[in-house]
Structure 1
Amino acid sequence: MTVNIATVYERSKSPGPQPNGLQAAEDGLWYIDQRNDKVYKLDWDSGEEIMSFQTTTEHASGITIGDGHVWVSSTFGLTIHKIDMETGKTVQELPTPGVGQVAFSPPGAPARDSGAHGLEWRDDKLWVAVPPSQMIYQVDPSDGSVLHEIKAPGLRVHGIAFDEDGNLWSADTASGVVSLLDVSDGRVLNYIRVPWPTEVHGLTIDSAGKLWYCDAETTAVGILGR
C-alpha cells in the first residue's frame, strides 16, 4: 500500500463562518455551513459566492446533489433533508441511521445525540457517513432504509467522495487521514495523511479528479494534492 502525504492548496475562504460539507457540480462548488445552516454555491475559479439559501437543518454537516435536489444532513436534527434547488425548501426528510453520542465529545460537554456528516449520491442511492456509529451507510432515498453498510476507519468520519472507479474517499477528521475504501466490504485500498493544522471536514472530487476539501476551523476551501 502506497502512503502519501497530501500537499494542501488553499484556494479561498468560505463566505460563511463554518464550511462543513462540499459537493462538486458543473455549475459550481456547493457547500453547507454548519454554523448558519446555509447552502452556498461558489465560483470554481474565484471562490466567490454565486448564490445561497437558508435551510431548516440544525448543525448541518454534509451535502450532495442527486435526483434534481440538494441533500443536506441535519446533524443535530438526526435527519437528512431533500431540498428544492430553486426555492431552498425542504420537500422530504429521511431518518439518519446510526445516530447516537459521539466518542470525541469534549469533557464536561452535555451529551447530545448526533447524526450524519458526509453525504454522497451514486447510482440513484444515497451514501451517509455517521460518526456516532463510525459507519458509512447506503440508503434508499425514498424512505431512508439501509441497503448496505461498511465500517469507516478512524474515530471521526466526516466527508466522503466517490472516485471514477467507484471507490470511496473517507475523511477521518480526528487523525488527519483520508482513506480510499472498497465499498463492497470497507477494505482500505490507500490513504493520504493531511498535515496539521488542516482539518478535512467536507470532501468532494471534481470532474478532473481533484480532491477538494473544506476546513470548518479555518474556513479554508482548497485541494488536496496526492
Structure 2
Amino acid sequence: MSRRGFLAGGLAALAAASRASAGGAWPDPPVVARRVEKLYKIAGSRQPNDLQFVPDGLWVLDQVDPNQVFKVRPEDGSVIQTLQTESIHGSGITFGNGALWIASTKMINPAEPPRTLKVDPKTGKTLKSWVTPGSGLYGTVTTPSGAHGLKWVDGKYWMAVPASGKLFLMEPETGEIVRSIPAPGVRTHGLAWDRGFLWCVESNGRVIYKLDPKDGAPVSRIQLTKEDPEPHGLDVRDGVLWYCDAASAWICKLV
C-alpha cells in the first residue's frame, strides 16, 4: 500500500470514529476520488476559515481577531475589498438578502454565548445578531463554541454547529430554526450547496461528506490525507469544490 493510501485509510477510520461518537448511524458512503490543487494564499489573510462565492468575487473570512473579510478575484486571489467586522474567531460566512452572514464562533467575553451576525457588506458593521442555537462545548473546547459553516440556500441558510451534533436550517431575519439534520461527525465545518445536495466538512477526519438535506443521510464522501491542507471552509463553483485551511492559509480546490 502507498503511503498516501495508508494515510487515507487512517483518516477514514478517524472520520468513522468521529461520526460514531456524534451519534451518526449511517453506513459509510462510497468514496469519490478527488485531488487537492493548492491555488494561492491571500495577501493579508493569515487564517482563512470560510468561503462564499458571489457573482463578482469570492468572500473569505479570516479568523484572526477581530475578524476581517476579504473579497478576492477567484482566479488569482488578488484583493478587491477588505472589511473589518465585529466577529470573533469567526468560522462561517455566507451572503444573502444583500448582506453577509457571519458566525462569530467566540465572543470578546468568552463566557457569553456565541452569536450569528448580519453584516453590512460595504462597511463591515453588524446590522443584527442572534444567539447561535446549539452552541456549547465539544471535544477539547473549554469555552462555548458557536457555528462553523454557513451557506445560503433559497432564502434561508444552513449552519453547522459542532457542539450540537446538528446542521440547522435557519430563518435569517429572525434567527429561528426551521429544522435540523444530524451532523456527519464531531468537528463539522464548511458547507456547500450543490444541485440539491449539501456538502459538509468534518475537519478532524479530513473528510467532506455529500448529504441528503432531507434527513442528513451521507450519499458520498471525499477523503483527504494528512499531506493535504486541512479542510475548514467550503464552497462550490461550477461544480468544483473549493476549500480553505486556517492553519496553512491555503485556498484549494478539488479536481
Instruction: Please classify the TM superposition score into its range, dividing by the shorter chain length.
Output: over 0.9
Aligned to 1:86: 122
Q: Return the structure number with greater strand share.
A: 1
Residues 181-200 of structure 1 aligned to structure 2 (within 5 Å): 181-197=211-227, 198-200=229-231
Aligned to 2:36: 8
Q: Cα offset for 1:5?
A: 3.5
Q: Cα offset for 1:84?
A: 0.9
How many angstroms apart in 1 are the aligned matches of 2:221 and 2:74? Answer: 26
Q: Percent identity?
A: 39
Amino acid at match of 2:56: D
Q: Deviations over 1:145-187 (max 9, x none)?
A: 11110111122000000002x1100000000110000111010
| Number of residue pairs the alignment of both structures matches | 218
How many angstroms apart in 2 are the aligned matches of 1:130 and 1:113? Answer: 11
How many angstroms apart in 2 are the aligned matches of 1:133 and 1:92? Answer: 23
The answer for unaligned runs of 5 or more in structure 2 is: 1-28, 108-113
Q: Return the structure number with greater helix share.
A: 2
Q: Does 1:26 align with 2:55?
A: yes
Aligned to 2:132: 96
Q: Cα offset for 1:224?
A: 1.3
Q: Are the aligned partners of 1:5 and 1:194 in contact in 2 as well (CA < 8 Å)?
A: no
Q: Deviations over 1:4-53 (max 9, x none)?
A: 23300011013311000100111111110011300101111111111111
Aligned to 2:15: none
How many angstroms apart in 2 are the aligned matches of 1:6 and 1:20? Answer: 21
Aligned to 2:4: none
Q: Does 1:222 align with 2:223?
A: no
Could you tell me the TM-score, scaled by structure 1's length? 0.93
Runs of 4+ in 1 over 3 A off after TM superposition: none
Q: Cα offset for 1:86?
A: 1.3
Could you tell me the TM-score, scaled by structure 2's length? 0.83
Aligned to 1:70: 100
How large is the Cα RMSD of the aligned pairs? 1.1
User: CA distance change for structure 1 residues 177 and 104 in 2, over 3 Å: closer, same or farther?
Assistant: farther
